[in-house]
Structure 1
Amino acid sequence: MTRPLPLPGADFTGKCVIVTGAAGIFGRWIVEAFDAAGATLLLSDRDQNAMANVAGSLSRPALTHATELTDAASIDDLVEMVGREWGAADILVNNAAVYPSGFLLDVDADEWDRIFDINLRAPFLLTRGIATQMVHQKVRGNIVMISSGASRKMRTTAAPYSISKSALDRLTKGFAVELAEYGIRCNAVEPGFAAGSTASPLTDAHVKAVTGAIPLGRASRYEDAPAAVMFLASDAASYITGATLSVDGGGSAGQILVHQDKKKAL
C-alpha cells in the first residue's frame, strides 16, 4: 500500500538527507517521506537490522551507518562518511533520542549522562560536524531538530528527558543565530503523541487516556511530523530559522479534561 506524500508537491530530488534514529517510528516516517519526495538518504541508527529493513523498503538505494550516539568517535565516523560520499549534506534531521522512565531521585550519574549524551551532546556534535562541511562546500543547508512538548512542560518520571529537550531547543536557536550568515537554517519540530514512539510498551488504556486529552482528539499520524520537517527544510520556509513548530494536535496548548458532568457549549 502506497502511503500519501506528507507534503503534497514536495520535491527533494538531488538533495542529500541524513536522518538519525532512522529505525524508530518517527525516524522511519521521516525517511519514507523524503524518499517519496526524491531525496538521497543516509540512515543512522544503532539497530543495524531494523535500519537495514527500513533501507530495503525504500524506492532507491540508501547509505546506512550504525551510529553509537554516546560515542563521539562513532559520530565523527558518520561525519567523515558524509564527507567521503557527498562532500556535504543538504539536510540533517536530528531525530534520535531516548525516553527513559524514572524519578529524579532514582537517576544515577551514568543514566543522566547517557540521556544527555544521546539527546543533547550527539545533536551538538553531529550538527557541528555536518554544518562545518556545509560551510566549506558553500551549501545553504538545513538542520531540523526533533524536540518535544516535554521541553516546556515537566513530566513526572521523565524529568531528565524534559530537561534535555529544553536544552535542545536552546541549542537549536544557538545554531540558528550562528549559522545564519552562511545561509544555513536550523529549526525544531515537536511531534505529537504516537503509540509506539517510545521504547516502552504502551497499554491500550494509556494510549486512550493520552489521546483523549489531545484537543484535536487523535494521535499523531504518519504524515504529520514528516510534513512539518519537510516544510522547514524546504524553500517555502526560507525566512524561518530558530523556530520550533509544534505538531501535536494542540497538546502543547492545553489538555482536554473530561468530567461526567461536562456540559456541551453548543
Structure 2
Amino acid sequence: MKEVAKQLSDFEGKRLLITGGASGIGLATVNHFLSKGAKVAVFDINQEGLTKLENQYQQDLLTMEGDVRRANEIARALDIMVEEWDGIDILVYSAGIFPDMRIIDMEEEEWDRVLDINLKGAFLTCRNVAQRMIAQRSGGHIVTISSGSYQSARIGSGHYCASKAGLVMLTKVLAFELADYGIQVNSIAPGLVESELLDPSYVQTFSKRIPLGRPAKPTEVSGAIEMITSSLNTYMTGQIIPIDGGLSSGHYGLPNSNKQAR
C-alpha cells in the first residue's frame, strides 16, 4: 500500500494548466496539485480569485487572466507556460457556468453564453493544448469536467445539460484522435457538489436521491483527477467517470416494487 500511495503522488515538477481555477472545483484542483509538488498555471476571468491565489502561493504558480472563449488568449497563456516551464503535461478544463433558466424564457444570448464557455471554450483550449502536446512528443493527459447532467435532464438547465452532453462527446472524440500520440483524454462527471451558489432547499432535496446522502466536496473531485492523471493510469482513455455518490447507478430511495416484499 505504501508503494501505491507513493506512485499516486508522483506529480513533482509536472506542469498543469487549469482553466476556471480561481473558484469551485478548479480551485480545489489547483490547491491539490500544488500540494503534490506540481507546477500549476491558472487561467481564469476572475481577477480577484487569481489575486488571492497569488497571495497564497509564492512559487510553482502562474496566474493568467483570460477568457476561454477567445482563442488568442488561450494561446497567449500557453506561450507563457512554455516560456516559463518549457511545456505542459496535464490540462484540466474546469471552466464552466450553470445558470438556471427555462428554455421558454431563454434569450439567444443566454444560450450562447453557456454553450460558448462550457463547450466552445473546451474545444478551443483542448485543441490548442493537444497541438502543444503533440509537438512535445511526450504524451500527456487532458481532463474535462463535465457533469452527470450530460445524461440527466433538469428543469431550468437546457443550455447547461446540452453543453455537458456536447463536452462528453468532444472528450470521447479527442480520446480517439489523440491516442496515437500517447495523450489520454478522460472526463470527470460530478453529481451534486458543494457550492455557495446552490440553494439550500435544492441541496436538501437532491441529497435524498444520493446513496451517500450528501453533496461531494470539491476536494473529492480533485482527488479523482489525481487518480486518472497519475502514472498508474497508462490505459484509460475516452472514459466518463462519475463522482456522484452513487447517484447515476439507478433510482435510489424507492420502496420495494413488489407489494409482497416487506
Q: Same fold (TM over 0.5)?
A: yes
Alignment pair present for 1:150 and 2:146:
no
Tell me the residue number matched to 1:50.
49
Contact 2:193 2:218 in 1 (8 A): no
Q: How does 1:1-266 map to 2 (within 5 A)?
A: 8-9=5-6, 10-58=9-57, 60-196=59-195, 201-257=197-253
The unaligned stretches of length 5 or more in structure 1 are 1-6
Contact 2:172 2:185 in 1 (8 A): yes
Task: Provide the C-alpha distance between the structure 1 equivalents of 2:202 and 2:188, rounded to a whole number of angstroms.
Answer: 24
Q: Which runs of 5+ in 2 are unaligned?
A: none
- CA shift, 1:69, in A, is 1.9
Amino acid aligned to 1:244? I
Residue 215 of structure 1 contacts residue 255 of structure 1 at CA under 8 Å; is this kept in 2?
A: no
| 8 Å CA contact 2:34, 2:60 repeated in 1 | no
1:195 is displaced (CA, Å) by 2.6
Aligned-pair identity in percent equals 34
Give, in angstroms, the shift of residue 59 of structure 1. Answer: 6.7
Residue 73 of structure 1: CA displacement? 2.4
Distance 2:132 2:187 in 1: 21
Q: Give the count of matched residue pairs.
A: 253
Amino acid in structure 1 at the alignment position of 2:239: A
One-letter amino acid of the counterpart of residue 152, structure 2: K
> Could you say which structure has the higher helix fraction?
2
2:22 and 2:46 in contact (8 A); partners too? yes
Query: What amino acid is the match of 2:171?
Result: T
Equivalent position SS for 2:249 = coil
Q: What SS does the corresponding residue of 1:209 show, helix, strand or coil? A: helix
- Counterpart CA distance in 2 for 1:32 and 1:128 is 25
| 1:77 Cα deviation from its structure 2 partner | 1.9
1: distance between equivalents of 2:221 and 2:251? 20
Displacement of 1:111: 1.6
Question: What value does the CA root-mean-square deviation take over the aligned residues?
Answer: 2.1
How far apart are the structure 2 equivalents of 1:249 and 1:234? 22
Deviations 1:102-129 (A, max 9, x none): 1112222222111111111111111111
Report which stretch shifted further, 216-225 or 42-51: 216-225
For normalisation by structure 2, the TM-score amounts to 0.90
